[in-house]
Amino acid sequence: MENNPTMEKIVNLCKNRGIIFAGSEIYGGMGNTWDYGPIGVEIKNNIKRAWWKMFVQENKNAYGVDAAILMNSRVWDASGHTASFSDPKMDCKECKARSRADNLIEEYAKKHNIDVCPDKMTNEEMEKFIDDHKINCPKCGKHNFTNIRQFNLMFETSRGVTEDNQNKIYLRPETAQGEFVNFLNVQRSMRAKVPFSIAQIGKAFRNEVTPGNFIFRTIEFEQMEHQLFCKEGQDVEFYEEYKQKAMDYLVRLGFNREHLRYKDHDKLAFYAKAACDIQFKYPMGWEELNGIHNRTNHDLSRHQEYSNKSMLYMDPVTNEKYIPYVVEYSIGADRLMLAVLCEAYNEEKLENETRVVLKLHPSLAANKLAILPLMKRDHGDKANEIYKELSKHFMCDYDESGSIGKRYRRQDEIGTPFCLTVDDNTINNNTVTIRFRDSMEQITLSIDEVKDFVLKNIQF
C-alpha cells in the first residue's frame, strides 16, 4: 500500500472525479484560481462542519459570526494592513515574470540544505543572497532581476460611481478583523463573560504571487478562525491549550500524528507574545497548515484608538476594566482540504490491478453511501426506492452504470465509506449487501437496519 502521492496524482484525481477544477478553464484558466466540483464542495463543507462542531458547538462559551467581506477602510488602517501588508517582489528583466524574493530564497535553501530565514533579512540582504547564489527566474531560468520592491497584497476597489481615495475599499485580506470589530456586539448581545471566543469561516483575498502548489496558496481562499478573548495572565495557559486543541482536531480528522509537527515562529510580530504553526508533510515538503498566536491586546487596542470606541471589558465580579488579550487559532480550509486529500490517498496492489482509494474519515466523505443495483432491469426500481428514503438522512450516490467491480472502484476513488448492493435477496427477503471501503469486506443487513448503521459509523 502506498501513501505518498505526488501532487500530479492528487490534481489528476481531483479533476477526473469532480473534486476540484481549474478556474475559468474554458477560457484558458486564471492563475491559481480553482473551482470546487460536486464531490469537492461536499468534502470541504464537511471539513468546515467538523471544525465548527469541535470549536463552536462543543464549547459553551464560543459564538459564531459571519462578518462582511467589504469593511470600512479604517479597519485596515487600524490593523496595519494599509501601511505594511506587502511582499518583497522582484521582476525578471528577461521574461517580465514577477517573483517573491523570500520564496526564491526559501526554495533554493531547501533544495541545497542551507539554513537561512528570509523573514529576518532586509531587502538588501535578500538581493545579495540571490546575487551571490545566482538564483534564476523560475519561469525562464535566467538570472537578471530588478531590485526588490514592496507590493501591497490587498485587492483594492471603489465604492460608488467615482474613483477617489474617499471611496477606496478593499477585499478583506483576512477574516480576523471581522471578529475583533464585533467583540463588543457579541459580548453584550450574548451576555458573554471573559474568557469567551468568537469563530468565523469565510473568504479572504490576497493579491500575491503564488508558487503553484495547487490549492495550497491561492489569491482567493477560505479561513476558519477562532479568537479567544481572555484576561492578561490567562493567555499563556490558553495558548498552550489551543496548540493542543488544534492538533487534536487534525488527529480526529484522521491524520497520522507522524505527518504533523509544531514549528515555532523564528520571528514574531512586534505585538505578539508567542506564535506557532502546525505543519503537514505535503508532497512539496513540510509546510504550514495552521497557526496559533498570542496576539496580546494589540488588536482591540488598535481598534479602540482608530474608532474612538472603548473596547474595555468590565469584569462583573471584580468590576475591573481591561482590554482582553487574544489567543488566535487560524487554519485555511483550502490547504486543509489539500492535506486531507494527500493524507487519505492510497494505492493498493491487488491481484490484477492497483486500487486507488481515498481513506477519508467517514464524516468527511462527500457521499456516505452508494446505492448500486446489481442489474438495472431487475433491481433498479427497488434501488431507487432505497435511495429516495436514505438520502433524506445523509448524502447518497446512485450508480447503475458498468460492472459492480468498476462501480466499487469509482466510489473508492472519491472516498465513499459504504456501498449498498441491491440484488435478488433484496427483492425476496428485504436484505442488502454492505461493502466497506477500506477493508472491502461485506456484510448483510436488513434494509431497515441500514439508516442507523450508516449514521452510527459516520459521526465525527
How many structural domains compose the chain?
Answer: 3
In the numeric block, the cell 434494509 is attached to 447
What's the pLDDT score for residue 151?
A: 82
Indicate whether 208 and 259 sit together in one domain.
Answer: yes
Give the torsion through C-alpha atoms of 442, 446, 449, 455, to 10 deg.
30
Does 251 lie in the same domain as 192? yes
Distance of alpha carbon 110 from alpha carbon 229, whole angstroms: 37
Q: Is the pLDDT of residue 201 over 80?
A: yes
pLDDT at residue number 193:
97
CATH of the domain at 98: 3.30.40.230
In-domain check, residue 12: no
- Residue 74, C-beta contacts closer than 8 angstroms, at least 6 positions apart: 306, 307
Contacts of 434 by beta carbon, 8 Å cutoff, 6+ apart: 418, 419, 420, 442, 443, 444, 445, 450, 453
Average pLDDT of span 262-286: 93
At 178, the pLDDT band (50, 70, 90 cuts) reads very high
* Mean pLDDT, all residues of the chain: 94
Question: Average pLDDT in the 95-109 region?
Answer: 89
At 164 the pLDDT is 64
Over residues 47-62, mean pLDDT: 98
Whether 201 and 243 share a structural domain: yes
Mean pLDDT, range 176-199, rounded to an integer: 98
What band does 165 get if pLDDT is binned at 50, 70 and 90? low
- pLDDT-derived band at 194 (thresholds 50, 70, 90) equals very high
Residue 202 lies in a domain: yes
Assess if residue 362 is contained within a domain.
no
The answer to whether residues 231 and 273 belong to one domain is yes
Q: Is residue 449 part of a domain?
A: yes
Residue 326 lies in a domain: yes
Domain-located, residue 8: no
Residue-wise pLDDT for 114-133, tens only, equals 999 887 889 999 999 999 99
- CATH assignment at residue 398: 3.40.50.800
Q: Tell me, what's the pLDDT at 448?
A: 97
* Claim to verify: residue 198 and residue 274 sit in the same structural domain: yes
pLDDT at 162 over 70: no
Task: Indicate whether 57 pLDDT > 80.
Answer: yes
This prediction has a pTM of 0.89
What is the pLDDT averaged over residues 330-351? 97
Percent of the chain with pLDDT over 70: 98
* Nearest by Cα to 177 from 18, 71, 310: 71
Residues 330 and 439 in one domain: no
pLDDT digits (tens, 9 = 90+) for 355-413: 999 999 999 999 999 999 999 999 999 999 999 999 999 999 999 999 999 999 999 99
The domain of 129 spans 86-152
Pairing of β 418-422 and β 396-398? unpaired
